[in-house]
Structure 1
Amino acid sequence: MRKYVAELIGTMVLVLMGCGSAVFAGTVQPFDAVGTLGVAFAFGLSVVAMAYTIGKISGCHINPAITLGMLVANKISGKDAGMYILFQIIGAIIGSGILYVLAKDSGSTTTLTGANGYKDLVPAFVAETVFTFIFLLVVFGSTSKGAPNKFAGLAIGLTLVLIHIVCIPITGTSVNPARSIGPAIFQGGEALSQLWLFIVAPFLGAIIAAFTWKAIDTEEAV
């Protein structure tokens, strides 16, 4: 149960800090606008912080796509994977609820919860699939045997920063179904109708990454 609670807390922090930066970047006061780069770093730094906080307890997945990838790669049991995903979603909902309370009277010109969305289906689906694939490869590589594991959290967090810099204009960047589910529940409307993409595409990217990593992670490489 400690692992599951750790995943809940980690995902809550990711959503609250990452999505919170996106929400308050749109406020009317110029000094509050952190911009795309600030939002990207907020998500990445949240991962770094949680990796070194709960990593020793749960491995700090805080992302159902990572958990599914680990399951496909036979690095986690089916029971743990199911419970991880459940608690990650609960954590995301809690984080989104806190953010909604904080932002509803803030004057933000963005969504109140930092919900994902897209204008064009195909570019959005491709982006979420490909960037999740890249993200998962970094997760597998940086946590594998022989890698400098003490720096895994930093590598993963900075990769998330890079992904956000490119992907924010396309979808707002998900690569994490829980991060999309929580905000969409409170946002409603179009965010909920488009939610399927931010579940299916990251899961697809994670599965492809898991099979790819199993193919290239040879004994000679570790």
Structure 2
Amino acid sequence: MKAYLAEAVGTFWLVLGGCGSAVLAAAFPEVGIGLLGVSLAFGLTVLTMAYAIGHISGCHLNPAVTIGLWAGKRFDASQIIPYIVAQVVGGILGGGVLYLIATGQAGFDVAESGFATNGYAERSPGGYDLSAGFIAEVVMTMMFIVIILGATDKRAPQGFAPIAIGLGLTLIHLISIPITNTSVNPARSTGVAIFVGDGALTQLWMFWVAPIIGAILGAAIYRGISSESEG
């Protein structure tokens, strides 16, 4: 239970910190943090939680990461569903707190703001279509899993994995925010989509399917290039 609670708390922080930076600070008049700031915020949430709860739960914070670690022979299949449930609950709680804060501003409209939801076609920040969004989410999640498996390999320098993983997520956001607003994390996508409703929920399927496919591919790639099996 401690591991599940840790995953919920960590995912709560990821959604509140990452999506909160986009909703509350990115477009703030004159001093908005912009794409770079939002990218850093997502990376920092993972980096800080990796040091805070990595020793408790492994700090997955992401159903795709949990599945990728299982595919990479680093995680027990019996724990997949409880971890994913904890992550989704934490993500929704993070989205809920963000909703309470954001709606405290006069005139704030959740649907009109987009509320940091992910999307393609008319919901893509740059107008990218479904195929472009799908490819981006698969490839970005794939590389994220390669980074995670490599950084946490027993042969890698010890103690630096959270930095590599956090910076990796920052880079992923720098690349793909214009395409899909960057998911690579079904719990992050779900946590804010439910507060926006129809448009975001209609497209939510893609931000579950593509990251999971990418995670499995990433695990296969790492196991293929790693000279030593860790199963």
TM-score, scaled relative to structure 2 = 0.91
Describe the SS at the equivalent of 1:149.
coil
Q: Residue in 1 aligned with 2:35?
A: 36
SS in 2 for 1:219: coil
Counterpart residue number, 2:119: 117
> What is the deviation of 1:94?
0.3
- The percent of aligned pairs where both chains have the same amino acid is 50
The structural deviation recorded for 1:56 is 0.5
Shift of 1:185: 0.7
Matches within 5 A, 1:8-157: 8-27=8-27, 29-31=29-31, 33-106=32-105, 111=113, 113-119=115-121, 120-157=129-166
**Cα distance in 2, alignment partners of residues 108 and 164 from structure 1:** 25
1:7 shift after superposition: 0.3
1:151-178 CA-to-partner distances (Å, cap 9, x unmatched) read 0000000011111011000000000000
Q: Output the amino acid matched with 2:75.
A: I
Instruction: Provide the residue aligned with 1:201 in structure 2.
Output: 210
Give the C-alpha shift of residue 25 in structure 1: 3.2
2:125 aligned partner? none
- Asked whether the 8 Å contact 1:65–1:177 carries over to 2, the reply is yes
- Alignment-mate amino acid for residue 72 of structure 2: A
Question: Structure 2: any 5+ residue segments left out of the alignment?
Answer: 122-128
Q: 1:12 to 1:168 in 2, by over 3 A?
A: same
What is the TM-score when the length of structure 1 is the normalising length?
Answer: 0.94
Name the CA distance, whole Å, in 1 between partners of 2:131 and 2:202: 16
* Structure 1: stretches of 5+ with no match in the other structure: none
Find the aligned partners of 1:112 and 1:195 in 2 and give their Cα distance.
Answer: 14
Aligned length: 220
Q: Distance in 2 between matches of 1:206 and 1:27?
A: 32
Q: What is the rounded CA distance, in whole Å, between the counterparts of 2:195 and 2:80 in structure 1?
A: 25
The answer to whether the 8 Å contact 1:117/1:172 transfers is yes
- Deviation at 1:28? 5.2
Alpha-carbon distance in structure 1 between the residues aligned to 2:135 and 2:167: 21
CA distance in 2, matches of 1:28, 1:177: 27
Query: SS at the partner of 1:30?
Result: coil
**What is residue 215 of structure 1 aligned with on the other side?**
224
- In structure 2, distance between residues paired with 1:143 and 1:17: 24
Query: Cα offset for 1:147?
Result: 0.2
Secondary structure, in 3 states, of the residue corresponding to 2:75? coil
Say whether 1:2 aligns with 2:11: no
CA distance in structure 1 between the partners assigned to 2:151 and 2:94 by the alignment: 27
